[in-house]
Amino acid sequence: MNKIQTPVAAVVVMACNRADYLERTIKSILKYQNAVASKFPLFVSQDGSDPQVRKKALSYDQLTHMQHLDSKLVQTERPGELIAYYKIARHYKWALDKLFHEYKFSRVIILEDDMEIAPDFFDYFEAAAALMEKDKTIMAVSSWNDNGQKQFVHDPEILYRSDFFPGLGWMLTKPTWNELSPKWPKAYWDDWLRLQENHKGRQFIRPEVCRTYNFGEHGSSLGQFFRQYLEPIKLNDVQVDWKSKDLSYLMEDKYIKLFAEILKNAKPINGADAVLKASNVQGDVRVHYEDQPDFERIARQFGVFQEWKDGVPRTAYKGVVVFRYPPPRRVFLVGPKSFELLGIKSV
């Protein structure tokens, strides 16, 4: 009975100078974290010395406040760059080094000070932690889907593998951090993680329906994308019983076969007016794209993210981007090498 609970993961909220946002985030976390506090100890890591943020963090006895004071001058590498992105990267390295090396946690979940979480957020990450232990090809688990807007999602129980790091509420393990920490970049850490040389073919788990909601219209990225992509995100509102779910379908060897099978069964549609054609077909459909400009053109028609990083479109798995349109029908945007990568001979 007196067994000490080993934490699943530390949860850290990265904060700087938005005390009002931080309060909203902490309240959202505590709503669900109180019941599992021993499994998910809560930290706020404050970058800088904003007195309101410090006061707000210290007003909660359910969390530990850490403060990163860095007086070193920031030198941007290119003219016109925002210093904020350099400060953020420094803060992340400091906080993660502290949690993994000083506090000796085996996993850390990183949140930012402008996020609300879903009711099953902690159960989701607990189930995902077990999966990560079994499958070392999973580099991190995220609570975020870039194409998680209300009009593109349907099933809160479905998870996907992706070659694109989603961020925005994510968990990594100590061995992965030990590998990343010595070479951590000076700025733009999230895009750096999306480079092939850093993820080395490992993948990320993401949900169909987001487990975090980003309400941060005002911040370092100056509200970029907020109205189009962040505001319409659907935050999961149902309590999925993750403990009873068999997530072994997400193991690399099983998942590639499962995904290939689903893709093979989707009906191909070609030519112009993909959106119109997709709407008139029963069941799942697939649309093939030739290259990045072709993908961007098709993605624009549907209204999903057009962005690529290091040859990978956002949310893609083996070059395939999947979303619902209209739900529950799935649309697969399929790359020129996707069939080959998935081991599909011909359809």
Does pLDDT of 174 surpass 60?
yes
Q: What is the pLDDT of residues 94-109, one digit of tens each?
A: 999 999 999 999 999 9
Q: What is the pLDDT of residues 36-72, one digit of tens each?
A: 999 999 999 999 999 999 999 999 999 999 999 988 8
**Antiparallel, parallel or unpaired: β 330-334 and 321-324:** antiparallel
DSSP H or E stretch at residue 108: strand 107-112
* CA dihedral (128, 124, 210, 40) positive or negative: negative
The confidence score (pLDDT) of residue 225 equals 66
Active site residue 246: no
Q: How far is CA 63 from CA 66, 101, 134, in A?
A: 10, 19, 30
The confidence score (pLDDT) of residue 346 equals 75
Predicted structure pTM score: 0.96
The confidence score (pLDDT) of residue 73 equals 87
What Rg do the C-alpha atoms of the chain give, in angstroms? Answer: 20
The confidence score (pLDDT) of residue 216 equals 85
Q: Per DSSP, what are the bridge partners of residue 109?
A: 11, 171
Does pLDDT of 1 surpass 50?
no
How sure is the predictor about 3, in pLDDT bands with cuts at 50, 70 and 90?
low
Q: What is the mean pLDDT of residues 99-122?
A: 98
State the Cα angle at 279 between 277 and 282, rounded to 5°: 100
Amino acid in position 132: M
Q: Per DSSP, what are the bridge partners of residue 287?
A: 269, 333
C-alpha atoms less than 13 angstroms from C-alpha of 128 in its C-beta half-sphere: 30
State the Cα angle at 179 between 134 and 319, rounded to 5°: 65
Does pLDDT of 4 surpass 70?
no
Q: What is the mean pLDDT of residues 252-259?
A: 98
Tokens of 270: 């070609």
Q: Bigger pLDDT: 272 or 158?
A: 158
Crossing angle between the packed helical segments 19-33 and 51-58, to the nearest 10 degrees: 20
Does pLDDT of 224 surpass 90?
no
CB 302 within 8 A of CB 276: no
Catalytic residue among 190, 191, 294, 310: 190
How sure is the predictor about 223, in pLDDT bands with cuts at 50, 70 and 90?
low
The confidence score (pLDDT) of residue 19 equals 97
Q: What is the mean pLDDT of residues 234-261?
A: 98
CB 208 within 8 A of CB 156: yes
Lowest mean pLDDT among 58-72, 167-181, 223-237: 223-237
Lowest mean pLDDT among 177-181, 235-239, 279-283, 290-294: 279-283
The torsion of the CA quartet 222, 227, 228, 231, rounded to 10 degrees, works out to: 110
